[in-house]
Structure 1
Amino acid sequence: MSKAKKPEQAELDLIERFIHFLLFEKGLSENTRQAYQSDLIQFASYCANAPCDFYAVTQELVQAYLVYLTENGVKQRSAARKFSSIKKFYKYLIGEKLIERDPCQFVKPPKLSIYLPKTITEQDVNALLDAPSEEDTIELRDKAMLELLYATGLRVTELVGLTFQQVNVELGVVRVIGKGNKERLVPMGELAQDLITKYLAYSRPELNKQQSEVLFLSNRSVQMTRQTFWHRIKHYCLRVGISTEISPHTLRHAFATHLVNHGADLRVVQSLLGHSDLSTTQIYTHVAKLRLQQLHQAHHPRSG
């Protein structure tokens, strides 16, 4: 059995050059950079074993690669991401005048089924937010975090990474550093303002034994991990009898879904969530429609 060929160093260098271009132009996060690099090296390996010159890739080869991914158990969403990486790469090569024809131009991307994010009812959200006590140091911190998460739709990594300077309680806004180091201002609402004010007055001084700049501190005076916060949420779900599987990201989805349910403009929701593409936000219109259908079936006298 012949040994699989590896991409030429010149091809790896070209991929690296493309990654640097994206870092400079787009400000990618480390996870996104690694995904692009992994996708393109994998495709370069496939080309080397086709065999096919990396510069002379054809539409047929790209289509064959997508079939190869499917046959090897790669999920549609991952295959679509890999195709997107390849497409952007060859668009870059055309821009750099290294090739003349885009092999991806007429290739249809893998068809994705609509992914509906898990969300929870407003009633369950209210029960969860009411679960922690304001009389306990740790629970007041948790209550402030949960309220801020639901009020702003922050990603959990954005929440646990917040510094003291990023939150202006008087103005009621949070300055968030999101994916790709993109900055956005998000309003927090009065309930979150009040709870953060109480947390800063009573809990944080007890937890801040090392003069940390992190806003929400663990009982060891360091930044909380995502896993720790997730366990805290599970703790409160058990306390109030919420059986739905809930994660910190569920509250982000609930934030967006409930805004859309109450008539918020999709562009506003996009801005609050920090989505670069409106199509990412549009998923919440599907969630809202599904919820309306469920309510109709449950309560309309002639729904069957």
Structure 2
Amino acid sequence: MENEIRDFILYLHEEKKTSVNTELSYKRDLQKLQSFLSGQGIEDVGRITETSLNSYVLYLEKNQFAPATVSRHIAAVKAFFHFMLKKGMVSEDVTERLKAPKIEKKAPEVLTVEEAARLLEQPGKDAPKDIRDKAMLELLYATGIRVSELISLKLSDLNLRLGYIICRDGMKERAVPFGNKAKEALTLYLKEAREQLTKGNEGDTLFVNCSGKPMSRQGFWKLIKIYARKAGIEADITPHTLRHSFAAHLVENGADLHSVQEMMGHSDISSTQVYANRNGNQLRNVYQRTHPRSR
């Protein structure tokens, strides 16, 4: 099965042009399946049956994997078998009747506009590190990009004059605009802080740590936790909270879903729809609380 997984990942990379993160996710999930089947004495893909796959799903559920995680594993297995069937590696698709558990879509955790403003005001104004942090937070909230996209940005991806960045996910790229606050923070960072942090080393990475190397996800995660505490925000926020807040605040102020979808880089409009649903629920709650004939 190891060879088939390798061929599948190569197919995703070369033909489907998927992102590195997607490929790693598929690989991890399929290797977990391989390990489980090996424990059942199944080494050959031709011996995998509907029953053995159902046993695997049951194993995941018994080990208390979240429904979303189980669904992701099932999606990986289905994609893997579709590939093998297409390439003639198997004669039938035994995943056809494999069903994913029902997942309740939770409303995304978002900050209020006031909380977002408090968070963005936390970094200091003088130290290079603080100036960098301010620029990163402002850009994240201004664009709604993923933290992985934020730390991967190159100087060449930034157009300060026109106010947009280029984000890349695998072979796909999108242009995302940003406003004056982010532009001011980025201008200050490039003018007064970045060179001190890079210590004169050449490189195209936009945001660097205090050693002059690219910022890490973990490093930025810690920063946002510290600033959230300083801002008096009680919710356990993550970098993704700013992404959700960006989208929610746009929708609340009348942005159309297709524009938000494009800026967020969502491949499916249903992923963006949750922000409209959230907005609708808020309006309904306000109506029920305040209209004299709502009860």
Partner secondary structure for residue 103 of structure 2 = coil
Aligned to 2:196: 206
Residue deviations 1:89-109 (CA, integer Å, cap 9, x gap): 111122123334322223322
Q: 5 Å matches for 1:112-131?
A: 112-131=103-122
What is the aligned counterpart of 2:164 among 157, 173, 180?
173
Question: In the alignment, does 2:227 pair up with 1:236?
Answer: yes
CA distance in 1, matches of 2:289, 2:232: 23
| Matching residue's letter, 1:54 | V
What is the aligned counterpart of 2:142 among 144, 151, 173?
151
TM value normalised by structure 1 = 0.84
Partner secondary structure for residue 15 of structure 2 = helix
CA distance in 2, matches of 1:91, 1:62: 15
Q: Which moved more, 1:133-142 or 1:261-270?
A: 133-142
Aligned to 1:104: 95
Aligned to 1:186: 176
Deviation at 1:171, TM superposition (A): 1.2
8 Å contact from structure 1 (residues 47, 54) kept in 2: no
Q: How many residues align?
A: 293
What is the aligned counterpart of 2:25 among 10, 14, 35?
35
Task: Specify whether residues 141 and 47 from structure 1 end up closer, same or farther in structure 2 by C-alpha distance, changes over 3 A only.
Answer: closer
**Runs of 5+ unmatched residues, structure 1:** 1-10
CA distance in 1, matches of 2:231, 2:34: 52
Q: Which moved more, 1:226-235 or 1:51-60?
A: 51-60
Question: In the alignment, does 2:276 pair up with 1:285?
Answer: yes
Question: In the alignment, does 2:177 pair up with 1:161?
Answer: no
| Matching residue's letter, 1:40 | L
Aligned to 1:21: 11
* Percent sequence identity over aligned pairs: 38
CA distance in 2, matches of 1:298, 1:245: 28
What is the aligned counterpart of 2:239 among 225, 245, 248?
248
Task: Specify whether residues 93 and 214 from structure 1 end up closer, same or farther in structure 2 by C-alpha distance, changes over 3 A only.
Answer: closer
Deviation at 1:303, TM superposition (A): 6.0
Aligned to 1:4: none
| Matching residue's letter, 1:207 | L
Task: Specify whether residues 131 and 53 from structure 1 end up closer, same or farther in structure 2 by C-alpha distance, changes over 3 A only.
Answer: closer
Aligned to 1:8: none
Task: Specify whether residues 14 and 203 from structure 1 end up closer, same or farther in structure 2 by C-alpha distance, changes over 3 A only.
Answer: closer
Aligned to 1:137: 128
Deviation at 1:254, TM superposition (A): 0.6
Task: Specify whether residues 217 and 56 from structure 1 end up closer, same or farther in structure 2 by C-alpha distance, changes over 3 A only.
Answer: closer
